[in-house]
């Protein structure tokens, strides 16, 4: 009897709780919480994103946007794990390298109609070069909100202390070449500090070496992505040059060595201009920002892109698309361009960029940002990039040894990734 009574009262309590919970849901059904995964945890970036979210809330009082920062190195893995676990975010940043995977898979909600319908959006001013990777069958699946050129940040204090020529001096003399850049880096390295750091490469993420090997006209695969070109002469020459700079000249910190430019420990670093926010405010050093040096194939520029897309599987995909339209409208794009340069033509002029990039000089903006975006190639990408990346990485480990046989290793890589590229 006691058991039955307990059972009945438990059932009653559950029924009351259940109805309360349902009532709560009914009252809050209009509230929309959107979640966007991003790979930046930078305070200044987040402050700006939250301002944009607050601006959207003014016209959409029921919509709240939260940003979830995932670690940069494992970003795509964490994002796909969320999707696999049925916990996909409403919106997500997407790397240019994995753009093909996301755009072609149908995971993203088409944005073209929403963006075109947004008042004053003017999608037409975003060049097709910028949207190519994010478009499938004439529809835009993610908006390339960041078109950030790679450039060389310079620590003039360290270079002058080592008695070497600064990049600015070399540019003025028309001598800003890879050979001379490595010479300066080697001079600083001899003085006990780091030479030139290709940021985020870490002898793992080899795609960042594109900022160097594009100077030789090298590319890991053909334009159509079907043929491996890693064993071709330009790539062999470029990687031999890098190998020499690492092991013979010691101008680039070797594998297993960590040197942070922004802590004042290296002469130069190649990275995107969005990293200007990492420049130290306390104990600043005399820094400069210059274009990539000239390689054997002449002058070149490289841009990294980041797209923002809406997940097709989200419950509020339409509202999320409206938020993306608001976040990337001309007004907000101008605000974002202080960290993430916009591909909008109206924003690619020195006056506007100067206002949003107070850290950069007029000259730096013209020579690095505007000309970089106008002429730069996008970082390489491919369908199934993660697998190709890993296969190349594990083989390239053989190059990062003093006695490496660079051409033979590159031949081996092509033998392995060839079938994957054709897939």
Residues forming the site for other proteins (CB under 8 A): 1-3, 76-77, 80-81, 83-84, 101-102, 105-107, 203-204, 254-258, 312-313, 384, 386-387, 390, 393-395, 397-398, 400
Find the shortest distance in angstroms from Cβ 123 to other proteins.
25
- Cα separation, 108 vs 90, in Å, equals 10
Q: How far is the CB of 226 from other proteins (least distance, A)?
A: 20
Q: Nearer to other proteins by C-beta: 91 or 373?
A: 91
Q: How far is the CB of 61 from other proteins (least distance, A)?
A: 32
Residue 347 φ/ψ, nearest 5 degrees: -100, -5
Residue nearer to other proteins on the CB measure, 367 or 393: 393
Q: Which is nearer to other proteins, 174 or 419 (CB)?
A: 419
Nearer to other proteins, 107 or 310 (CB): 107
The residue among 197, 196, 242, 195 whose CA lies nearest residue 216 is 242
Joined together, the tokens standing for residue 357 give 């990039």
378 bridge partner residues: 303
Q: In the complex, what is the shortest distance from the CB of residue 170 to other proteins, in angstroms, rounded to a whole number?
A: 29
CB 110 to other proteins: min, Å: 15
Of residues 245 and 336, the one with the C-beta less far from other proteins: 245
> Residues 37, 43, 45, 49: is their CA dihedral positive or negative?
positive
Residue 69, classed as helix, strand or coil, is strand
Q: Which is nearer to other proteins, 76 or 114 (CB)?
A: 76
Q: Nearest Cα to 194, choosing from 272, 273, 262, 248?
A: 262
Q: Answer yes or no: are the C-beta atoms of 91 and 36 closer than 8 Å.
A: yes
CA distance 305 to 143: 10
Q: Could you give the CA distance from residue 300 to residue 188 in angstroms, rounded to a whole number? A: 25
Cβ neighbour number for residue 116 with a 10 Å cutoff = 13
Paired strand residues for 309: 92, 142
Minimum distance, C-beta of residue 339 to other proteins, in the bound complex (Å): 27
């Amino acid at each position: 009897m006691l058991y039955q009574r307990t059972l009945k009262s438990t059932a009653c309590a559950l029924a009351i709780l259940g109805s309360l919970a349902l009532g709560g849901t009914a009252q809050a059904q209009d509230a929309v919480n959107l979640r966007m995964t991003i790979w930046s945890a930078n305070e200044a970036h987040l402050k700006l994103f939250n301002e944009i979210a607050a601006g959207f809330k003014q016209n959409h009082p029921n919509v709240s946007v939260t940003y979830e920062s995932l670690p940069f190195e494992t970003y795509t893995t964490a994002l796909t794990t969320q999707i696999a676990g049925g916990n996909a975010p409403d919106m997500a940043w997407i790397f240019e390298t994995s753009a093909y995977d996301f755009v072609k898979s149908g995971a993203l909600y088409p944005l073209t109609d929403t963006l075109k319908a947004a008042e004053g959006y003017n999608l037409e001013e975003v060049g097709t070069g910028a949207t190519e990777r994010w478009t499938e069958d004439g529809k835009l699946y993610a908006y390339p909100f960041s078109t950030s050129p790679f450039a060389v940040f310079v620590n003039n204090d360290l270079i002058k202390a080592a008695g070497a020529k600064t990049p600015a001096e070399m540019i003025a003399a028309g001598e800003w070449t890879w050979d001379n850049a490595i010479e300066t880096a080697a001079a600083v390295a001899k003085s006990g500090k780091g030479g030139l750091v290709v940021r985020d490469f870490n002898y793992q993420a080899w795609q960042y070496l594109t900022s160097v090997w594009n100077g030789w006209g090298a590319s890991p695969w053909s334009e159509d992505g079907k043929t491996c070109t890693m064993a071709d002469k330009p790539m062999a020459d470029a990687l031999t040059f890098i190998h020499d700079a690492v092991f013979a000249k010691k101008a680039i910190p070797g594998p297993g060595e960590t040197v942070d430019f922004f802590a004042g420990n290296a002469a130069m670093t190649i990275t995107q201009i969005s990293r200007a926010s990492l420049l130290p405010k306390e104990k600043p050093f005399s820094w400069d920002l210059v274009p990539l040096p000239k390689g054997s194939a002449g002058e070149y520029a490289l841009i990294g892109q980041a797209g923002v897309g809406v997940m097709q599987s989200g419950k509020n995909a339409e509202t999320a698309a409206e938020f993306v339209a608001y976040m990337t409208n001309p007004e907000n794009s101008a605000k974002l361009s202080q960290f993430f340069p916009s591909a909008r033509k109206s924003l690619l002029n020195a006056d506007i960029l100067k206002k949003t990039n107070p850290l950069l000089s007029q000259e730096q903006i013209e020579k690095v940002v505007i000309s970089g975006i106008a002429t730069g190639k996008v970082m390489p990408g491919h369908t199934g990039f993660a697998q190709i990346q890993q296969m190349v990485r594990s083989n390239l480990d053989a190059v990062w040894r003093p006695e490496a046989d660079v051409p033979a290793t590159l031949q081996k890589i092509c033998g392995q990734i060839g079938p994957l590229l054709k897939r």
